[in-house]
Structure 1
Amino acid sequence: MLLSHHPSFISSLKSRLSLPYLYTQPHRLSIPYTPVFKNKPLPFFAITQHFFSTLPSKNHQPLLKSTPQSSALPVFPLDDEEHNVETVNNQLPERSQQEDKSFWGAVSLIIGTAVGPGMLGLPAATIKSGPLPSTIAIILSWVYVISSIILVAELSFAVMEEEGVAEVSFTGLATKALGSHFGAFVAVIYASLSFSLLVACVSGIGSIVCQWFPWMNLLLAHALFPLAAGTVIMFFPFKVIDVSNRLLCFLMLFSITALVAIGLSVARANVLSSFAHASWSLSSILPAIPVTVLTLGFHVITPFICKIAGNSVSEARNAILIGGAVPLVMVVSWNLIVLGLAGNTSPKDPISLLLSVNPSALSAVQGFAFSALATSLIGYAVSFPKQVLDTLELILGKTNLQKQIPYQSQLVSNGSGKVGFVIYSSQHECGKFGKVSFRSASEDEQLLRTTDLKSLEIFVMPLVLSAPVLIASFFRSTFSKALDFAGVYANCFLFGILPPAMAYIQQSRKKLRFSILPGGDVALALLFGVAVVLGIWH
């Protein structure tokens, strides 16, 4: 039976749709039968197996005919006010999206990424101020970092909900708030920052592997762990990455606990007496703040954390607070122990200082350094490829939607009856098999953009990890230089100035439903001012 003769179908078309005749090439549109619920046709066509045919009709009008594939269509119970394509589309991938959610996986990823290369050298920057002033400075820096990260999380969820995507990048946030031209500039700087952090991690891990295996080739020593991490990320599900990262986090927590225990056992009195030394001058305290912000920060992975932490911004906030509190405790403990052992001397190398006191701490030091760098590398590796793809898309201007869809017929109606587009491959190919899909314009653009960059994805991860391996292998001083570069841009521009500026712009456009950061515009101005002061001072 032709659907055009079905009473419910006719009434629905009259009240909701307007399908113009196509006079250029008469054809017949063959689709599965539309499932009906409560004697009402659903305004959604999940068409996956259907074709164009150019069977001429007498009146040259497109006809709708049922096909045997109708049994494959799911039936969704919808109320009258819920007849829209987004409702049904959100129900289809819900199960697969939930499988990628892991709150504690997000927490462990935060812990591993936050405790990274900067922690080992932090006491060298805090020795001038002393234990008490440096501890207060570390706590205030942590509050500043967490506030900025919560802003990034809030922006990430706002853009994800607005665009209907599962993940965004920092470049995408900047482009949405500040425009494509400034977004391209941010993309280059952000990619440089992430790349420098990857180089620092690869260089540090390679140095530790060389200490364990002195006979190993230098290039192989630097490539061993990045190769293993890249293989797991590319070819295994996220659960495998999560388990591996949690194991490294446990190793890191065990190692830092052992180091703190060793330090207390050999210098308990020195740690307590070191609190008598305190310098409250800004020249003594300020040098530790940029290093602390870099050590405790994990802005790079915040958009990815929003993807896996849960379905709401509050879940992401809880993951950020829990995951960020553990590195704070570790950093404060490590700082107090090393300053207690150092006394009034300057610990240019805190690791050498600890080993000179107790050589048996070598295993704990190496275990902590390796796990801290390895978890940081995993965090950067899972988030940086998305950033690279967004950067390439933004700079190269991959907007081929008009080229791939030269003919569109929009089906619209008033109220909640939005259907989307009927997409034709091209006019001169009407006699060939084609495809019809009913979806929103943003979904079509996202699909084509994903397909356009799909061929690049298999090359991004090898490139992202192989380039730091080559740089770290042939330029041995890259560890400190990469950290210096990352510290300047992370503290002063990307993660200091941009988040409050983007949040203010988004709130002024009324894109955010609510703010999870208390204080409103005053808090944004305070964060912006602190970032400017740090940038000028640095």
Structure 2
Amino acid sequence: MGTQLRASAHPQSYSFHMRTNTSRTWTWNHQQGVAIYLKAKIDYCSCSAPVRHWRSYVTKANHSTEQLKDDFISTPTKKKKGTVVGAVALIVGTSIGSGILALPKKTSPAGFIPSATSMVLCWGFLLIEALLLTEINVNIRRRMKKREDEDKLEIISIRTMAQETLGTWGGNFATINYIFLAYTSMVAYTSKAGEILSRVINLPASLSGILFTIIFTTLISFGGPRFTDQINQWLTASMIGLLVAIEVIGASSGAWSELMSISNWDKVPGTVPVIIFSLVFHDLAPVLCTYLGGDLARIRVSVVVGSLLPLIALIVWDAVALSLSPLADGIDPINMLMRVNWSGVATMVQVFSLLAVGTSQIGTLLGFSQFFLEQLNFLTSRSTSKQMKEVERKQRALFGLKDWWGDNKTSFTAMAMAVAPPLLVSTSVPDAFSTATDIAGGYCMAMLYGVLPPAMAWAMHGKSYDDGGGGGEITLYKVKPALIGVGLLSCGILLEQLLQDLSFLHL
């Protein structure tokens, strides 16, 4: 599920960061080749009403990055809207990421036909959820336009959506799920990076993972969003190019006649978490709604086309990988792909794998660290007056390095809070990548992007939202049976994952 508007945060990596009408920062990430970093400044009036000022940094994997930056930074949404092509590119970049590395190993026991069927069904399920999110987001945007100047209305995060529809508990539920998702994603990235890098530099996997994470932590901490943006663009473009090349080379070396030899439908449930992890792009939904100016028709086209292309890429990738090892039970097909009799394929696979993990990690780290930074700044602002801060700043200015540390210690502390726990877990838990992707896809994403959207839509049932022209309303109640269906399916995914984990623990 690698890279990244491309921040949004996905964890990269699509990841985005924003502050809403509360004192908290909200960040969403996903495994991805595109990352979005949205930074909002909130000034509090004496009446405690937040005034929002937005800055946006957009990172993506194609040549139109600078145009997207202009769309978000300098031009109000109603004056300059994005394009369907741009929105599709964002979704594709977000969906293709580190989850693709875990896919063949998880689908191998089931076989190609069952796993491909599972991918299509999961795609349909996630498509409905994404369309629900965009519908809810646009409805809330239209209602907020009554209360605020349209020029000031910016991205409405999933946390804000949950709080607007479900109340405070909904916002808190989304927040907790996000933190858990970000931590499990970071564990997955660190573990997989260590496994791959250890083959290249001959260091233990645990040390390699720490080294890999430190590199990107340093990049973000000292390079800043703009430099990180430029690096991520190059990494993402390279990753997608390598993916296409590997699929073409692998297709010419596969044993296609044996691809259909395995068909274990009872193994299909075990493939669902990693497929969800690989196909989720739902953290982009609020960004897409703003980028396309709340135009539901264009948003729907973008979501359908943008989600379909990664599905095709994943099915082809899975077919190529499984064709190389249809009968090699227990062997990771990625390892078989690296043994293809073609000069340079092993190197290409290793570089692609590192790029997939790296782009995902950039988005997650950028968004997650900013989330903690906001919380620390909020706590500090409550305990220290402006006058005291100014006195301390002037005192630090006399000591050079101390002044630099005083200005940046909160940022470094926030980064440490985002990085330290995943490093500890990834170095102490064997095969943490596989376990973390199961947890992220089977629990966190299933709740955040599975259970939450129909619950929000249900809460909006019976409420009327003016469409902006005073001529009607959007009636979500018409899809009430679908809400029940996807809600039950989401609960089923959670229950199935829980039963699998309990059976694994022999409880």
The answer to whether structure 1 residue 275 and structure 2 residue 260 are counterparts is yes
Offset of 1:386 from its aligned partner?
Answer: 6.7
Offset of 1:324 from its aligned partner?
Answer: 2.0
Secondary structure of 2:338 counterpart: helix
User: In 2, distance between residues paired with 1:320 and 1:343?
Assistant: 33
2:237 to 250, 264, 267: 250
User: In 2, distance between residues paired with 1:384 and 1:315?
Assistant: 30
The one-letter amino acid paired with 2:491 is: V
Matches within 5 A, 1:68-107: 95-97=74-76, 103=83, 106-107=87-88
Q: CA RMSD in A?
A: 4.0
Matches within 5 A, 1:367-382: 367-381=351-365
Aligned counterpart, 1:127: 108
Q: 1:390 to 1:533 in 2, by over 3 A?
A: farther
User: In 1, distance between residues paired with 2:248 and 2:134?
Assistant: 36
User: In 2, distance between residues paired with 1:314 and 1:124?
Assistant: 38
Aligned counterpart, 1:142: 123
Aligned counterpart, 1:509: 463
Aligned counterpart, 2:273: 290
The one-letter amino acid paired with 2:256 is: V
Determine which structure has more spread, i.e. the larger CA radius of gyration: 1
Offset of 1:275 from its aligned partner?
Answer: 2.5
The answer to whether structure 1 residue 178 and structure 2 residue 169 are counterparts is no
Q: 1:470 to 1:288 in 2, by over 3 A?
A: closer
The one-letter amino acid paired with 1:200 is: A
Contact 1:202–1:226, Cα closer than 8 Å, also in 2 = no
Contact 2:187–2:425, Cα closer than 8 Å, also in 1 = yes
The answer to whether structure 1 residue 166 and structure 2 residue 166 are counterparts is no
1:329 to 282, 306, 312: 312
Contact 1:294–1:491, Cα closer than 8 Å, also in 2 = yes
Matches within 5 A, 1:65-464: 95-97=74-76, 103=83, 106-163=87-144, 164=148, 165-214=153-202, 218=208, 219-229=210-220, 234-236=224-226, 241=229, 244-267=231-254, 270-279=255-264, 281=265, 283-308=266-291, 310-358=293-341, 360-381=344-365, 383-384=367-368, 462-463=415-416
Q: 1:125 to 1:205 in 2, by over 3 A?
A: closer
Could you give the per-residue CA deviations for residues 108-140 of structure 1, whole angstroms, max 9, x where no partner exists?
443333223332222233233322222122111
User: In 1, distance between residues paired with 2:114 and 2:190?
Assistant: 33
Secondary structure of 1:286 counterpart: helix
Q: 1:364 to 1:94 in 2, by over 3 A?
A: closer
The answer to whether structure 1 residue 498 and structure 2 residue 445 are counterparts is no
Contact 2:461–2:476, Cα closer than 8 Å, also in 1 = no
The count of residues paired between Structure 1 and Structure 2 equals 385
Could you give the per-residue CA deviations for residues 148-174 of structure 1, whole angstroms, max 9, x where no partner exists?
122222223333443454123322222
Could you give the per-residue CA deviations for residues 413-465 of structure 1, whole angstroms, max 9, x where no partner exists?
xxxxxxxxxxxxxxxxxxxxxxxxxxxxxxxxxxxxxxxxxx99956863565
Contact 2:292–2:298, Cα closer than 8 Å, also in 1 = yes
Offset of 1:328 from its aligned partner?
Answer: 1.0
User: In 2, distance between residues paired with 1:155 and 1:195?
Assistant: 27
Offset of 1:193 from its aligned partner?
Answer: 0.9
Secondary structure of 2:439 counterpart: helix
| Structure 2 alignment gaps of length 5 or more | 1-71, 384-407, 468-472, 498-507
User: In 2, distance between residues paired with 1:339 and 1:263?
Assistant: 10
Per mean C-alpha deviation after superposition, the further-off stretch among 175-184 and 498-507 is 175-184
Contact 2:274–2:437, Cα closer than 8 Å, also in 1 = no
User: In 2, distance between residues paired with 1:275 and 1:195?
Assistant: 37
User: In 1, distance between residues paired with 2:424 and 2:90?
Assistant: 26
Aligned counterpart, 1:467: 420
Percent identity of equivalent pairs: 26
Q: 1:111 to 1:391 in 2, by over 3 A?
A: farther
What TM-score does the superposition give when structure 2 sets the normalisation length? 0.64
The one-letter amino acid paired with 2:415 is: P
User: In 1, distance between residues paired with 2:175 and 2:356?
Assistant: 27
Secondary structure of 2:109 counterpart: coil
Contact 1:177–1:505, Cα closer than 8 Å, also in 2 = yes
Could you give the per-residue CA deviations for residues 265-307 of structure 1, whole angstroms, max 9, x where no partner exists?
222xx2244225434x4x2322212221121112234334444
Secondary structure of 2:91 counterpart: helix
Offset of 1:392 from its aligned partner?
Answer: 8.4
Contact 2:131–2:303, Cα closer than 8 Å, also in 1 = yes
User: In 2, distance between residues paired with 1:307 and 1:456?
Assistant: 34
User: In 2, distance between residues paired with 1:106 and 1:230?
Assistant: 29
The one-letter amino acid paired with 2:218 is: L
Could you give the per-residue CA deviations for residues 351-386 of structure 1, whole angstroms, max 9, x where no partner exists?
212223436321221232122223323443455467
